[in-house]
């Protein structure tokens, strides 16, 4: 089933402009009006004198440009202002989505989102980590890539899957890996509100691709909330990036994704020890993740992964 309905060229232009900050759209509106207004000035006879045999052609050409500019001096600025309003509204919507997730108790809050809201939330989550985020949507020629992240000179691709009914399989991860190789990306992320199959997890290992499921995305946003609530002096001493797949030296801080996992790590209901996230290898639940006691086989306590 297609996620996106077909749009008109005007809607595509508006959506493209709305990816820019709202104030840039306002500047574009002013500049476009100034330039087109000058082109829309009435044609003077002196403008076409001295053209000889091409006087009629020059007259037609100038009349055509004048007609386009006369209409465009109002249409283009209005389109830019509409894009500015849409950009500001989307920014407010992103902040509201993050606020709702920060205040939620668990990752179930992700299940009620539309695919568009989910992509906006993921983009804002990575903005909180210090990435520059470009929203391109997965309908283009880039193999379903929804977001492009940039940090310094490095580029990362993100594919979002708002799938609640079934798991994200290895095909999706392979497609992203192919696009990464073709476009020269440093790494990639596949983010879903659901789960991943065992094959997808196996392929992602060693492929410089991070698989982020619903609980982990929820933990990442909650960690950002905790970082924002710290005093300014403490934040200066705390690494701001999470979920980065950059190769770090041995003296670098611990992997933020591992920290995010630890933030949701429960205690064993039997012995009270810390629990580890594991994947069932066989049986009816093969491929599903669960929390198992870290003292196994001494203690066989388990908790279902939320």
Residue 98, pLDDT score: 79
Task: State pTM to two decimals.
Answer: 0.57
- Domain ranges, ordered by start, for the chain: 9-102, 107-231, 265-304
From 179, 244, 173, 180, select the one nearest 205 (Cα to Cα): 173
Residue 155, pLDDT score: 94
What is the architecture, at CATH level 2, of domain 107-231?
Answer: 3-Layer(aba) Sandwich (3.40)
Residue 244, pLDDT score: 43
In order along its 306 residues, the chain shows pLDDT tens digits of 334 555 677 777 887 787 778 888 899 989 988 988 888 777 665 555 544 545 666 667 777 777 788 888 888 989 999 988 988 887 887 778 778 887 877 778 887 788 888 988 998 889 888 899 888 865 544 457 899 999 989 999 999 988 766 789 999 999 999 999 999 999 999 999 888 999 999 999 888 899 999 888 888 888 876 555 555 444 454 444 444 434 443 344 445 455 545 545 677 777 777 777 777 766 666 667 777 787 776 777 787 775
Residue 140, pLDDT score: 47
Residue 247, pLDDT score: 41
Dist CA 144 CA 147 (whole Å): 9
């Amino acid at each position: 089933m297609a996620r996106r309905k077909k749009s008109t060229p005007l809607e595509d232009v508006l959506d493209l402009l709305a990816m820019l900050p709202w104030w840039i759209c306002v500047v574009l509106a002013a500049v476009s009006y100034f330039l087109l207004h000058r082109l829309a000035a009435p044609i003077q006879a002196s403008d076409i004198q001295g053209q000889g045999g091409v006087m009629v052609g020059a007259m037609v050409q100038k009349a055509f440009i004048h007609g386009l500019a006369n209409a465009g001096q109002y249409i283009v600025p209005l389109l830019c202002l509409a894009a500015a309003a849409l950009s500001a509204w989307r920014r407010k919507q992103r902040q509201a989505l993050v606020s709702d997730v920060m205040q939620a108790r668990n990752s179930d809050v992700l299940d009620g989102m539309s695919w568009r809201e989910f992509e906006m939330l993921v983009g804002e989550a990575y903005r909180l980590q210090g990435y520059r985020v470009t929203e391109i949507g997965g309908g283009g020629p880039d193999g379903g890539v929804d977001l492009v992240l940039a940090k310094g000179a490095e580029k990362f691709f993100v594919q979002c899957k708002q799938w609640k009914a079934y798991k994200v399989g290895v095909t999706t991860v392979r497609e992203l890996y192919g696009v990464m190789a073709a476009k020269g990306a440093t790494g990639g992320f596949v983010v879903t509100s659901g789960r991943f199959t065992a094959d997808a997890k196996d392929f992602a290992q060693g492929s410089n691709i991070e698989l982020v499921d619903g609980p982990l995305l929820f933990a990442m946003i909650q960690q950002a909330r905790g970082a924002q609530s710290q005093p300014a002096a403490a934040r200066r001493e705390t690494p701001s990036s999470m979920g980065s797949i950059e190769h770090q030296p041995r003296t670098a801080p611990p992997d933020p994704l591992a920290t995010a996992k630890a933030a949701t790590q429960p205690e064993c209901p039997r012995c009270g020890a810390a629990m580890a996230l594991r994947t069932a290898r066989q049986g009816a639940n093969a491929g599903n993740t669960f929390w198992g006691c870290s003292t196994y086989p001494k203690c066989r306590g388990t908790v279902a992964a939320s």
